[in-house]
Amino acid sequence: MKHISAAKASGIIFSLVTTLFVSGCENGHQKRDAIAQNSNVIFDFESEHSLASVQLEHAAKSLMTNQDGKGLSIQFDSKAHHQSSVSFQADSAWNWTQYKDFGVALDISNPNKSSAFVYISVTDIHGASHNRSAVIPAQSQDTYLIELAGKDLQVESGIRSNPPSWPNKYQSIIWRYGNKNIDLANVAAITFKVIGVNEDKTLVFDNITLVEAENIDTNYLTGLVDKYGQNAKRDFENKISSDQELLAISQKEQALLTNKNFADRGKYNGWKDGPKLNATGFYRVEKYQGKWSLVDPEGYLFFSNGLANVRMANTSTITGFDFDQNYIVQREPGDLTPEDSIGLNRAPKKAWPTRYKSSPLRADMFNWLPNYEDPMGQHYGYRREVHSGAVERGETYSFYQANLARKYQTDDVDLAQQKWRETTVKRMQSWGFTSFGNWIDPSYYQMENYPYFANGWIIGDFKTVSSGNDYWAPLPDPFDSEFEQRARVTVKQIAKEVNNSPWCIGVFIDNEKSWGQMGSIRSQYAIPLNALTLDANSSPTKAHFTALLKQKYVDISKLNKAWDSQIADWDALDKGISIEQINEAMVSDLSTMLYEFGLQYFQVVDRAMQTYMPNHLYMGVRFADWGMTPELRQAAAEVADVVSYNYYKEVINDDFWQFLEALDKPSIIGEFHNGAVDSGLLNPGLVHASDQQDRGKKYAEYVNSAIDNPYLVGTHWFQYIDSPLTGRALDGENYNVGFVSVTDIPYQPLVDAAKDVNKNIYSRRYTNE
């Protein structure tokens, strides 16, 4: 790695050799080579003058002396505020276009006793943002790299975060989202944010420097995966090298598992040592002593802490092979199950002779793939469509399912699945969880020995409405009669699978819809703004919105006066209008429209629930924190039995969650997680920990913060099994977020932390012990 020659005052040499204590590195690993005498340092913080370019949000700055001179200490006021940040800004835009393969390196020290998870963005003057994230381990000092130009940023590998393409000793900063290729002629700022934590953080920054790659590893994506689905290029704890080793670890674990719940639990995992309330034979909700709670079928208080996504459907990865499409059975118009929830969905035998390499990039990632005729060939699957990735469709392979066959020493897939389910339930009981979370394989429903949540998606040929950021898909038009029909079909099928079982706590319908984003009026009210551009004759939602306006204003002139607009007549409004300027009166009307849109959606689904599943709780849509608005939360609270949220931060931060008090509705966390790269995987996940021990610490902090919240009735970790190393087939997620690895080996520090939390769930929540 060479440093770009530039305008650093001559004679200054920074010695940066220290001992690292960083995730994935052993003690004694040395820091990057000393910065060269004439390196291109953007900021060195040697004088007060540099502070003028440092902008803060809910943070404080100061220069401090360290072993190499001075550094910039940033105190993030992150306990009191949901978000705090520091931004290093250019006096005039930086122009970095002369460099081919380069990035920004910077020294970061963390003097705290806990790790610091930070979000990083590099933005240009046009507003385009290149977003990454990193964890700075507790009491550590190291140098981190933000890659901004190079081969890897031009490659679509089908993996959320690739291995480093530069051989270097820097700590990589994980790619997240946004624009990989911003305008490097006009770079405006580098920003670090701390979001959603329960304590103030301090970080020390120094030597923000441009560095250029001396060489690129052209094979960095080749030969990544061994026969067990593990990282072939790295060593890590519990890496399996033989079937015998896998079997020995499994047998040792099996001897310690039990099929008994914790002693303070009833049959349905409610708190039998606590009060006994009205028993209805099914789960319900009640506010008890000022705290919302689930109540189990026997009448005991119940807090749902469990693991989500316990299924094979998301264990497969795209292999880079495909078949003649004439032999692939395509989706039926009336399908109720999304492609990524179907399972492996193996290609038919008649297609096998047509197999060909559709993506050499993907195919070359694997050191081993079996023949279809071999027993291990049973674990192939096929995806007819993906959300994103290197290919639009293709063959998949589940290394996790293959490892179950090895572990249970059987080529009978059904038998291996049965043993897997039995082991999984024993783990849940031994680890003290009270239930499963969302997205549980329906085969667990029939076991009727462990509480679970059912789930479904409303899929059909109904009309849609755009929020402007339809990450997964556009929103259904809830005023379309076809949507109501499909909702009924969906819930009817779920009811058939559940069969009125008391073990089913409730039902989640749909997930992480893009309802609108806070931050601007246009993003918050994108649904009504986009709907208003449509023709009322073809959009039931638009027809409803125009009816609301006609009812309120009666005359178009009154609407124009309130909106400061020049709409010709009601017919013109019906045909579609685009709104350029938004005033207060318009905001009020847009808010009403958005609320009515959400209310209609929830009422349609709730009617289906009342018809087919009246004994089970309607759990809502699992709002993503990035895709919800106050109007939608209010609508959900008025209809759903429990409002659900997916929230990927370190804790339930009071500053963000103040709205729960106003809603006063039982609520649940549908997804959260954290991960680390000492597992051999390439991406920690949406929240980073420094290592497996830190994962356990962060897990306990999150769940305990939810237990302490009087409105939250549960937390569900996403997910049970690590993502595949080369990314799940749907969209390339390659996260270390499982309680178990691809070889089905539990991460013991995380398990131990969960046990400790689960032992005290009820005493902590209801007796403050």
| pLDDT tens per residue, range 435-460 | 999 999 999 999 999 999 999 999 99
Residue 769 pLDDT more than 80? no
284 strand-pairing partners: 295
Residue with tokens 């033989």: 242
Pairing between β-strand 140-149 and β-strand 102-110 as defined by DSSP bridges: antiparallel
pLDDT digits (tens, 9 = 90+) for 485-540: 999 999 999 999 999 999 999 999 999 999 999 999 999 999 999 999 999 999 99
Mean pLDDT across 190-201: 96
User: So what's the pLDDT on residue 322?
Assistant: 98
Longest dimension (CA), the chain: 81
Mean pLDDT across 258-275: 95
Can you give the three-state secondary structure of 107-155, one letter per residue? EEEECCCCCEEEEEEEEECCCCEEEEEEEECCCEEEEEEEEEECHHHHC
User: So what's the pLDDT on residue 214?
Assistant: 86
**644 near 192, Cβ under 8 Å?**
no
pLDDT digits (tens, 9 = 90+) for 710-747: 999 999 999 999 999 999 999 999 999 999 999 999 99
What pLDDT band is residue 175 in, cutting at 50, 70 and 90? very high
Residue 545 pLDDT more than 50? yes
Mean pLDDT across 335-349: 90
**693 near 751, Cβ under 8 Å?**
no
Mean pLDDT across 6-27: 29
Among residues of the chain, what percentage have pLDDT more than 70?
95
What pLDDT band is residue 25 in, cutting at 50, 70 and 90? very low
Residue 178 pLDDT more than 70? yes
How far is residue 484's CA from residue 383's CA, in Å, rounded to a whole number? 28
**243 near 254, Cβ under 8 Å?**
no
How far is residue 141's CA from residue 116's CA, in Å, rounded to a whole number? 12
Can you give the three-state secondary structure of 342-407, one letter per residue? CCCCCCCHHHHHHCEECCHHHHCCECCCCCCCCHHHHHEEEECCCCCCCCCCEEEECHHHHHHHHH
What pLDDT band is residue 470 in, cutting at 50, 70 and 90? confident
Query: Between residues 224 and 49, which one has the greater pLDDT?
Result: 224
- The phi, psi pair for 83, rounded to 5°, reads -140, 135
CATH 2.60.120.430, the chain: domain bounds: 2-212
Residue 2 pLDDT more than 50? no
Mean pLDDT across 30-55: 70
Smallest Cα–Cα separation from 279: which of 268, 291, 265?
A: 268
pTM score, two decimals?
Answer: 0.93
Q: Which DSSP category does 321 fall into?
A: E
Q: What is the mean pLDDT of the chain?
A: 92
pLDDT digits (tens, 9 = 90+) for 100-145: 899 999 999 999 999 999 999 999 999 999 999 999 999 999 999 9
Structure-block tokens of residue 226: 């061994």
pLDDT digits (tens, 9 = 90+) for 604-635: 999 999 999 999 999 999 999 999 999 999 99
Residue 36 pLDDT more than 70? no
593 SS3 class: helix
Q: Which helix (H) or strand (E) segment is 550 a member of?
A: helix 540-553
Residues 6+ apart with CB under 8 A from 368: 225, 226, 227
422 SS3 class: helix
| Answer CATH for 2-212 from 2.60.260.20, 3.40.50.300, 2.60.120.430, 3.20.20.140 | 2.60.120.430
Q: Which sign does the torsion angle of CA 363, 365, 367, 371 carry?
A: negative
User: So what's the pLDDT on residue 19?
Assistant: 28
- Alpha-carbon distances, residue 633 vs 273, 586, 603, 638 (angstroms): 34, 21, 13, 9
Gyration radius of the chain's alpha carbons = 27
User: So what's the pLDDT on residue 39?
Assistant: 57
